[in-house]
Structure 1
């Protein structure tokens, strides 16, 4: 999954345990572990907002995008409107 969750980083910066964060956010430690370990398929905005409030951070401090190494880059494909035949140049 190209979305990486950096909750561990913020927990370390705040010197907070997973259990404490889970209690303050209002989710189970098991659900927080799923999110923290990158196994979650989705996160509710209310949960993200609660995480940001408790950790005093922005969503971008918790989530980042990394290219998926398993997907090969597209080759030779042209984008619409990129000067293809029949389009004034």
Structure 2
């Protein structure tokens, strides 16, 4: 029994997306893109793609290295954004 639209693999269709708020965390910590890239062990270009949400996935090891370098939690840099523009941080009905 299906409970809504599904993708080709039978999973429910996703109506929102995960947004990276890495730029906000970098500003709060006073860290540059180059500094963070060196700490994480990736190129400035690849970190820039992550920071600007030009990636469709991120390795857990990369996320862990970012969190370690910025002394934060994954939820500090990852936010679910519903299609209606709600970033998921406000009160729920």
TM-score by structure 2 length?
0.71
Any unmatched runs of 5+ in structure 2? 1-15, 85-93
User: What runs of 5+ residues in structure 1 fail to find an aligned partner?
Assistant: 70-89
CA distance in structure 1 between the aligned counterparts of 2:61 and 2:31, rounded to whole angstroms: 20
> In angstroms, what is the RMSD of aligned CA positions?
1.5
How far does residue 2 in structure 1 lie from its aligned partner after superposition? 1.5
Cα distance, 1:68 vs structure 2: 2.2
1:29 aligns with 2:44: yes
Superimposed CA distance per residue, residues 35-55 of structure 1 (whole angstroms, 9 cap, x where no aligned partner): 111110100000000000000
**TM-score, normalization: structure 1?**
0.74
What residue number does 2:67 align with?
52
Following superposition, which runs of at least 4 residues in structure 1 exceed 3 angstroms of deviation? none
Say yes or no: does 1:15 pair with 2:30: yes
How many equivalent residue pairs? 70
In the alignment, which residue of structure 1 is the partner of 2:76?
Answer: 61
- Give the structure with higher Rg (CA): 1
Q: Distance in 1 between matches of 2:45 and 2:29?
A: 20
